[in-house]
Amino acid sequence: MRTTLWAIVILLSSSSIGAASDIRRVVTGLDASNKAVVLFDSRLPLGPGPYGIQGLNLWITDSYPAGFSFKDDPATRPIGISPPDHGTKFRVVEFPPLDPATEAKMEPTFLQKSVGERTPTRGVPVTHPLMHRTRSVDYAVILSGEIDMMLDDSVVHLKPGDVVVQQATNHAWINRGTQPCRILFVLMDAKQP
């Protein structure tokens, strides 16, 4: 598992950030003869989101242990911030620099409201419009750029190659730099903390 994750990180980080909006995704599966084949091989664009944040779901599962999809592409189904119940979400998000004027216009609980009923019961109220918590264990790898991870009472500055394990805690990703920051996420549904 660790080798596979690092192979994905190396592949994504070696892609041109100049063409920041697309990622090559290769998905394998089994054909009717049980031979390994490539099911999908294409460059996919990151889609626009609020406040210039761009994202792309690379794969979604909705069972544990994870099932397989040898025909359909589960990444195309609509899904919110959280992974599905008993599932996972494999995603890339690119955060643009956040200017103070945009930040001042944001609704105080903007992102937390979009989590909705999947919010963990433990945790204090959020203190920034981009702060949120999900009922999930999230792995994050900083691929390019730099970003601050704001927690309730502290801020951690992250650079390429840094990894984060987020355990259903309040956090906000805030880019105070001058370049976009691209992060690879694997979100896994979890129990209530």
Q: What is the reported pLDDT for 93?
A: 97
* AA letter at 142: I
Confidence of residue 119 (pLDDT cuts 50, 70, 90): confident
Euclidean distance between CA atoms 64 and 60, whole angstroms: 12
In the predicted model, what is the mean pLDDT of residues 49-75? Answer: 93
Q: Is the pLDDT of residue 10 over 90?
A: no
Name, in order, each residue with C-beta under 8 angstroms of 35's C-beta and a sequence gap of 6 or more.
none
- The sign of the dihedral angle between the CA atoms of 150, 18, 4, 68 is positive
pTM (2 d.p.) = 0.86
Q: What is the reported pLDDT for 117?
A: 81
Q: What is the reported pLDDT for 116?
A: 83
Of 145, 186, 180, 144, whose CA–CA distance to 164 is shortest? 186
> Lowest mean pLDDT: which of 18-32, 45-59, 81-95?
18-32
Confidence of residue 190 (pLDDT cuts 50, 70, 90): very high
CA angle 61, 118, 78 (to 5 degrees): 45
Residue 144: phi and psi, rounded to 5, are: -155, 155
Give the CA-trace dihedral at 111, 51, 157, 44, to 10 degrees.
Answer: 100
> Lowest mean pLDDT: which of 20-29, 30-39, 141-150?
20-29
